[in-house]
Structure 1
């Protein structure tokens, strides 16, 4: 019975609805190689600050989907993200799966996370990524005030056994125009390894070093605007 309810309420909606949500798009003219780096589950007092320094070094702007309670604990890092030009979206207030939340629970987790970010940065988040990418039957209604963002590539960087070399290879393979790449700057959640972000930072540094000037790294809102522009562009040429 429990399995059947979970399947109807969570697993099936996740499989069916995922294509509905934003997962990246090619640039308007097809010539600019635009990539969106996104980071989930932070901020983390040890790894996020190192990640911010790395992104600043290579003039990269990224999107962070933060967990509300961790944002409260690391408010200074959230302010640094905003000051450095990164986009801040929400995960949940706590890292909980929508498969096991009531419709009200989903709405409460989103609103509380958004309230937290707004209190720290002065700006209310617009973008939302469900933890683990889990969607429930009522999520489109309960999270209607946010734009749901998934990914074009999720690389398994939450497991330390993947290793920085294999992670670097996966990153390089998925760098392409319109990609939304999901990475993690915190490893404290169920199924993750605490030290896994070490590999993420080291692999990313190698990628940024080797590909300097080849890609334009944009935030989700910039890529989302590109999608709108692309629709208008297609309308004009047809």
Structure 2
């Protein structure tokens, strides 16, 4: 009986969590990971806002006139509403990273949905605009995410700088970022207070960007918010129209 129950749970886990992960990350089903606009790249930042690192990051972006997209956690947005307003006021896009930093396959569909909607409502109350993009923590979707129609474009990434840990320091992040090519969606972090991350790691990210941004601009790459790409291609404005 115990063996049958274990097998049943493994089957449920496969279809609820593992298969959606393979379909989205491996095949790009119902998500966007890259653009066809080869003169542009999109910087994206997860897990914030952070009261120390996010303002410092905004200063670096302003220094090079770079626009980015921030996927924020609802509970942190509630703690630091002024930073959310500052992100918006400086011309950046704000997306949803869910209310807390938990993998979607570890929660019931209704729990995920409520967290996303509460975060969406909070963002709207702070900046007067609806979030249009959503990235689940760790990029881990569940079956409900892929099957349900949603007003959000689910965004993953094509380039990861591995900046959530201090190991390798600034050179490691610089090396990854210099591999950027047109159309890339670049994953970075402005907060290190999540499971598996290190609290001081964003300082390396900020310093690495100060090195890399001018070099990528010299290559002719432009940094854009995700909504620019979505506006150019209406086929990706809703996840239920993809795949």
TM-score (norm 2): 0.88
**Structure 1 residues 78 and 143, CA, compared in 2 at 3 Å: closer, same or farther?**
farther
Q: Distance in 1 between matches of 2:163 and 2:106?
A: 24
Compute the TM-score of the two structures, normalised by the length of structure 1: 0.89
Are residues 1:125 and 2:125 paired?
no
Q: 1:234 aligns to what? A: none
Separation in structure 1 between the aligned mates of residue 70 and residue 115 of structure 2, nearest angstrom? 17
- Per-residue Cα deviation, 1:31-88 (whole angstroms, up to 9, x for no partner): xx10100000000001000000100010000000000110111111111111111000
Are the structure 2 counterparts of residues 140 and 126 from structure 1 closer, same or farther at C-alpha, using a change threshold of 3 Å? same
1:107 has 2:107 as partner: no
- Secondary structure of 1:41's aligned partner: strand
Is 1:68 the counterpart of 2:53? The answer is no
- 1:181 alignment partner, one of 183, 186, 190: 186
SS in 1 for 2:143: coil
| Partner in structure 2 of residue 236 of structure 1 | none
- Aligned position for 1:11: 18
Match of 1:24 among 34, 56, 78: 34
Q: 1:90 aligns with which of 91, 96, 110?
A: 96
Task: Say yes or no: does 1:169 pair with 2:169.
Answer: no
- Give distance in 2, aligned partners of 1:225 and 1:147: 11
| 1:180, distance to aligned residue in structure 2 (A) | 0.4
Q: Determine the structure 1 residue equivalent to 2:58.
A: 52
Aligned residues: 225
Q: How does 1:138-217 map to 2 (within 5 A)?
A: 138-142=144-148, 144-173=150-179, 175-213=180-218, 214-217=220-223
| 1:109 to partner: Cα distance | 1.1
Structure 2: where are the runs of 5+ without partners?
1-5, 237-243
Tell me which moved more, 17-26 or 63-72. 17-26
- 1:163 CA displacement: 1.2
Task: For 1:141 and 1:5, locate their aligned partners in 2 and report how far apart those are by CA, in whole Å.
Answer: 16
Report the alpha carbon displacement of residue 167 of structure 1 after superposing the two structures with TM. Answer: 0.9
Query: Do 1:158 and 1:193's aligned partners in 2 also have CA atoms closer than 8 Å?
Result: yes
- Contact 2:69-2:225 at 8 Å conserved across structures: yes
